Amino acid sequence: DGGITQSPKYLFRKEGQNVTLSCEQNLNHDAMYWYRQDPGQGLRLIYYSQIVNDFQKGDIAEGYSVSREKKESFPLTVTSAQKNPTAFYLCASSIAYWDHEQFFGPGTRLTVL
């Protein structure tokens, strides 16, 4: 089955710790994205990658970092510099950056204790 997976589904972190969220896709898509979703709100773009070894900041990149060493993987690190990290994190991919149709993973709910 082709798709996009995120792990873990639920993640708990102590304040001051960095944590890395996994995102993998086997759709052979070039572009990948990370969004943050807060309760009752829409999605906000954190980082995106048009192609392997490339990534760009989105609208709310502060306190986050990413890497894109492989086409199928786009991990997101939530650093201790992120002041309000508790949220639902969604990863997405598209065939290419010019394609507006994005396919989403199931999400990771991060809670900072």
- Least distance CB 105 / another protein (angstroms): 5
**Alpha carbon distance 47, 35 (integer Å):** 7
Of 13 and 43, which has the nearer Cβ to another protein? 43
Cβ contact 112:13 at 8 Å: yes
Of 81 and 106, which has the nearer Cβ to another protein? 106
**Alpha carbon distance 43, 56 (integer Å):** 17
Report CA dihedral (92, 53, 9, 112) to the nearest 10 degrees: -110
Pick from 52, 65, 80, 97 the residue near another protein by CB under 8 A: 97
Q: Is 8 in the site for another protein (CB under 8 A)?
A: no
Q: Is 76 in the site for another protein (CB under 8 A)?
A: no
**Exposure on the CB side of residue 6, measured as CA atoms within 13 A:** 25
Determine if the peptide bond prior to 8 is cis (ω within 30°).
yes
- Least distance CB 67 / another protein (angstroms): 19
Q: Is 104 in the site for another protein (CB under 8 A)?
A: yes
> Footprint of another protein on this chain (CB under 8 A)?
6, 31, 33, 40-45, 48, 50, 58, 90, 92, 94, 96-107, 109
